Chain A
Amino acid sequence: AQSVTQPDIHITVSEGASLELRCNYSYGATPYLFWYVQSPGQGLQLLLKYFSGDTLVQGIKGFEAEFKRSQSSFNLRKPSVHWSDAAEYFCAVGAGTSYDKVIFGPGTSLSVIP
């Protein structure tokens, strides 16, 4: 079975600073990988996903993530954070070739200082 960890429970960054949120997964084959954002009182929104191909994936809102098989990681990055990026970020991993059993990490809470 697959699993995912997010080592950072909470991160605070200044507006305009760069951001990296860490995600490590465990799965025996090539996984499906996702980053979702959950803003206060809002539903979940997909930022980006990786299935195969280019290991650097571009997403919405200026986010990108890099799949590193050797490190079992899928870290999320943004070069310049905006105050509206304050939210909960979830890394998720799916198994096989479908969305069956997509497992979510514990989440990282992002605070942005003006």
Chain B
Amino acid sequence: SAVISQKPSRDICQRGTSLTIQCQVDSQVTMMFWYRQQPGQSLTLIATANQGSEATYESGFVIDKFPISRPNLTFSTLTVSNMSPEDSSIYLCSVEATGELFFGEGSRLTVL
């Protein structure tokens, strides 16, 4: 199994600012994933982050808006840049371990 800690758990941000979300896993994992869950919606995959390589972004998501770092096998960050109210969402970190996808509790961002 894998235990994932995300910081912050929630935040209120001003339009035009940027926020970095941290994801810490209690074991070494190859692949980490970042998802977005907009209010009342399902999860949408933003990008896949492998250690030592550039993140792979899904259609509709770009590195300039959502830069990702993956410095080692237990940690990743997602930055939401130049935020607008449309970025208000829950951002979830996910990892694959022991044949299962595990999710963090999520980071709930509200952009005013």
Contact = CB atoms under 8 A, between A and B. Distances in A.
Contacts, number: 40
Interface residues of A, number: 17
Contacts of A43: 92, 103-106
Contacts of A46: 100-101
Interface residues of B, number: 19
Given A44-B43, A107-B42, 8 more contacts: A42-B105, A43-B92, A43-B106, A44-B103, A46-B100, A98-B31, A99-B101, A106-B41
B84 interface: no
B100 A49 contact: yes
Contacts of A101: 45, 48, 58
Contacts of B58: 101
A102 B42 contact: no
A104 interface: yes
A106 B100 CA distance: 20
Interface of B: 31, 33, 35, 41-45, 48, 58, 92, 96, 99-101, 103-106
A106 B42 contact: yes
Given A44-B92, A98-B31, A104 B103 contact: no
Q: Is the interface of A mostly helix, strand, loop or mixed?
A: loop
B89 to A, nearest CB: 14
Nearest to A107: B42
Contacts of A107: 41-42
Contacts of A99: 31, 33, 96, 101
A90 B42 contact: yes
Contacts of A104: 35, 42-44
Given A98-B31, A99-B96, A100-B31, A34 B42 contact: no
A98 B30 CA distance: 11
A103 interface: yes
Nearest to B102: A46
A98 B101 contact: no
